[in-house]
Amino acid sequence: MRSPTLAGPRADTAVLLPLLPAPDRAVVECALAAAAERHGVLRVAPSGPDEGAAAAAAFRAVLAAVRAAAPTTAEVPVEILAHPPEGPEGLLVAAADTPDLDRLATRHDRLLVVPHAPHPGGAVVVGVTESTAEIVLDEAFRAAERAGSRLIAVRARGGGHAPHWAVARRRLDLAVTPFRRAHPGVRTRTVVTESGPMDALTSASTVARLVVVGTPSTTRGSALSVADLAGRLRCPLLLVAQDGPRRG
């Protein structure tokens, strides 16, 4: 599987991967790819004191299989931690069936949720609402640029008090225009749909390598469930915090 390309290096380049549920090959591939692109380290951490040698051994077996198939991943340093980290750090990578995804999304600046059988390649899709922060669009455009893929910006009008179609189209174009100028090499398409956000992003994911959305928050009034959305997508989902750094 060709892993999704995320945005470039940051001050905190760590990628964190939980030991449980036991990460499968697709999850480990994505975590290693993310650490490589950040020129950082992959840290594998238990969620609690009961996750011991057996869980670590299962991870090492999957890691060995991934590295055997893709020798370049051997260059990515991997640390298996004895204890959970004290606070959020870098990017958290998790499987789509990880418990409490909605809670995790409120604790990390970036959360990459990986399905067990993602399809390869495709566009980067970004979900845009009236309150989507610029950092979300920035992440999406940078990901598309690094992957050499096109970007599809989706505005769903269904499921609430939506503006007229022409108004929605104009607002979407205005939101995307500065990033089109900053990334002229990224082929961009804007789509306004009558579907609700869940259905719109699910449909778009059939041609996507990565879906990017802002992390839901009470201050922004979003009712989109991370767990429900991740369970329906056919590609990885990147959630980007819109309300400032997480404190854990």
pLDDT digits (tens, 9 = 90+) for 66-125: 999 988 888 999 999 888 777 666 799 999 988 889 888 888 889 999 998 887 789 999
State mean pLDDT over 156-181: 86
The per-residue pLDDT of the chain, averaged, comes to: 85
Nearest 5 degrees, angle CA 75-CA 144-CA 160? 125
Instruction: With beta carbons less than 8 A apart as the criterion, state whether 19 and 56 touch.
Output: yes
- Mapped to the 3 state alphabet, what secondary structure does the chain carry? CCCCCCCCCCCCCCEEEECCCCCCHHHHHHHHHHHHHCCCCEEEECCCCCCCHHHHHHHHHHHHHHHHHCHHHHHCCEEECCCCCCCCCCEEEEECCCCCHHHHHHHCCEEEEECCCCCCCCEEEEECCCCCCHHHHHHHHHHHHHHCCCEEEEEECCCCCCCCHHHHHHHHHHHHHHHHHHCCCCCEEEEEECCCHHHHHHHHHHHEEEEEEECCCHHHCCCCCHHHHHHHCCCCEEEECCCCCCCC
**pTM here?**
0.87
State mean pLDDT over 137-166: 87
Between 23 and 136, whose confidence is greater? Answer: 136
240 pLDDT more than 90: yes
222 pLDDT more than 60: no
Q: Provide the pLDDT confidence category of residue 223 given band limits of 50, 70 and 90.
A: low
Lookup result for tokens 């225009």: 177
Specify the pLDDT at position 246: 55
Residues 13-55: tens digit of each pLDDT: 689 988 877 889 999 999 999 898 888 899 998 876 666 788 8
d(CA 30, CA 237): 11
